Amino acid sequence: MRTIGFVVNPIAGMGGRVGLKGTDEMVAEARRRGAEQRAPERAVEALSALRSADEDIRLLTYGGAMGEDEAREAGFDPVVVGYPDHEERGEGAETSAKDTREAVAQFVAWTPPEAESDERADESGAESVDLILFVGGDGTAVDVTETLDDLDADVPVLGVPAGVKVYSSVFAVRPSAAGRIAATFERTEEREVNDIDEAAYREEGEVRTELKGIVRVPVAEELQSSKQLAGGTVESLAEGVAAEVEDGVTYVFGPGSTVGAIERELGFEGSPLGVDVWRDGEVLVADASEAQILDHLGERNEIVVSPIGGQGFVFGRGNQQLSPDVVRRCEVTIVASRAKLDQLGALRVDTGDEELDEELRGWVRVRTGKYETRMMQIV
């Protein structure tokens, strides 16, 4: 029997579609803007895949929305090792990093009833937990990693991607993949946990990454790579795209330096890590939320987006404002430097809508220069 500790950060990713680029310290603002939770749904998707892949799973989890609710919805009868602490914050308060860390500590300390007298079990009880499966973003990954370091517990981890920023290489490419990997992995390898300064990311458009730790992660093909920040020269690409803009078309420009070069060619400074809506020489809305994008779409619309370097995600990482509703109303133009594509085996999507993801998969033409294109596969 495989024993998995499962914890959900229920507020992870809430800031994405309302344009906050993160949720750290911004939950109240996200709710004010009408944000909805996306982590619980992705948690259920991961657990459903886990249960389908192997029914002989013992699932440890934390109470309520931090895992118990999602586990029962997916058909598990979990072992609940604790509940979020609302005493200091008051009933109705949001869960916190402290709750995540306590959940991980309880997973490590838990000992199965059949092993209570087993002399081989060490004092930490780590041998009874085969994997910690968490749902969140880089902040959650840091909480899990630092707790394991503090406890000196060598437990493998695997992330279900639900946050706005997912720079670490400890995440599966999509929730269902995380479930399958958790059920079937046989080996582990060391991978990086990275995080960024959200304040600088949100206010200054500056990405400041920092290595937060190294953890063991299952070996699997469906894991994402670390986000690579280096890029190539894209001036000719920007010139080519800008020269072909059409009157009357609403352009939705995604985040990133490649798309930013196109915006500068069009005569304006875009939001480096946000989404801008532009039509007929005018910026209709800068750093737009999903709702604002939908409000400003016209009869003809085109998304211009660049895949994330090193990972290949076109949708679903750092641009959740480009929601399924937005994507379905637009044509999609993918742009990237040749150097970036050389480092990618394929492109990926994770919109949260499996039907749309399936529609997007297949071979696509990526604009790489003023006139050049390259065929790439979305898998």
Per-run averaged pLDDT (10 residues), the chain, 379 residues: 94 58 53 67 95 91 94 96 69 76 96 64 58 93 95 95 81 94 94 73 58 90 67 74 95 93 94 93 95 96 93 91 96 91 90 94 89 87
The residue whose two tokens read 């993160």 is 22
Nearest-5° Cα angle at 233, 232 to 239: 140
Per-state percent for the chain, helix, strand, coil, to nearest 5: 30, 25, 45
CA atoms of 168 and 191, how far apart (whole Å):
8
Q: Which of 164, 110, 145, 87 is nearest to 320 (CA)?
A: 164
Q: What is the pLDDT of residue 125?
A: 42
Q: Yes or no: say if 60 and 5 are a contact pair by the CB < 8 Å rule.
A: yes
Q: Yes or no: say if 206 and 200 are a contact pair by the CB < 8 Å rule.
A: yes
CA atoms of 38 and 134, how far apart (whole Å):
14
Q: Yes or no: say if 263 and 242 are a contact pair by the CB < 8 Å rule.
A: no
Q: Which of 81, 75, 80 is nearest to 54 (CA)?
A: 75
- Token pair listed for 299: 């009869």
The H-or-E segment that residue 209 falls in is strand 209-218
Q: Yes or no: say if 286 and 263 are a contact pair by the CB < 8 Å rule.
A: no
- The CATH number corresponding to 2-218 among 1.10.1040.10, 3.40.50.10330, 3.40.50.300, 3.30.365.10 equals 3.40.50.10330
Q: What is the pLDDT of residue 208?
A: 60
pTM of this structure = 0.65
Q: Please report, for the chain, the start and end positions of each structural domain, with discontinuous segments joined by +.
A: 2-218, 235-378
